[in-house]
Amino acid sequence: MDPKIKNILEWIYCVIIAIVLALLFRFFIGTPTIVKQVSMFPTLEQNQRLWLNRWGRTTHTLPKRGEIITFEEPTKISYTEADINLNYPVAQFKERQGWDWFVNNFLEMGEKRSYIKRVIALPGEHMQIKDGKVYIDDKELDEDYLQPGVVTDVENTGFSDIIVPDNCVFAMGDNRTRSTDCRSFGCIPLEKIESTVAFRFWPFDKFGGID
């Protein structure tokens, strides 16, 4: 083989290997992201840069209450009263297989879209939203990360009084009046949780962990 061709092929192999390793790291370990919406204000603001920890997805570990997670956008984000199944209040997702799964979840391309919210309730807990506040097993949840005067409510039809199913979490945005979250579409199953927010790295004056 011509030495020049061999050298080109070696470079191509190196580039392919580097790309594969980068994709594997992003899927199983972690990746950076940019905050694009206002649903987590004031905790997170638009255009801030975060590092996402994806090890929980790799090890199939449920996040803890208070952790900020990302998850795939559900296919149905609003329900009528007749649609809601309070015996199984879990969000609906498109079933992806083969190449469609690879492009959406591994390459994160195409119609891929994720939400970022805070875990409020865990499996087996009775979550209620009433009088503008959140109650877990009949005890008011202390949410010191919210702005003063924030009211938690459910507009029209939603999930406001449920038992969180096994291997699921109930999550909401901190900016309650500007957040489409589990109040609208139900709980998030473990297999749809993509990551937890590890830390913020931009802007530099806010570098560090996030409460």
CATH 2.10.109.10 fits 3-205, yes or no: yes
Note whether 51 and 77 are within 8 A (CB): no
Cα 170 to Cα 148: distance, rounded to the nearest angstrom: 22
Note whether 166 and 124 are within 8 A (CB): yes
**Residue 142: its pLDDT value, please?**
95
**Residue 121: its pLDDT value, please?**
98
In the block, residue with structure tokens 């900020």: 68
> Residue 164: is its pLDDT beyond 80?
yes
Cα 35 to Cα 51: distance, rounded to the nearest angstrom: 11
Rounding to the nearest 10 degrees, give the CA dihedral for residues 33, 112, 108, 66. 40
Domain borders along the chain are 3-205
pLDDT of 143-162, one tens digit each? Answer: 999 999 999 998 777 899 99
pLDDT of 69-82, one tens digit each? Answer: 999 999 998 888 88
> Residue 21: is its pLDDT beyond 80?
yes
> Residue 203: is its pLDDT beyond 90?
yes
pLDDT of 174-193, one tens digit each? Answer: 999 999 999 999 999 999 99
**What's the longest Cα–Cα distance across the chain?**
77
Cα 149 to Cα 113: distance, rounded to the nearest angstrom: 31
87-100 burial code (b ≥16 CB/10 A, e <16): eebbbebeeeeeee
**Residue 90: its pLDDT value, please?**
96
**Residue 172: its pLDDT value, please?**
97
114-123 burial code (b ≥16 CB/10 A, e <16): bbbbbbbbbe
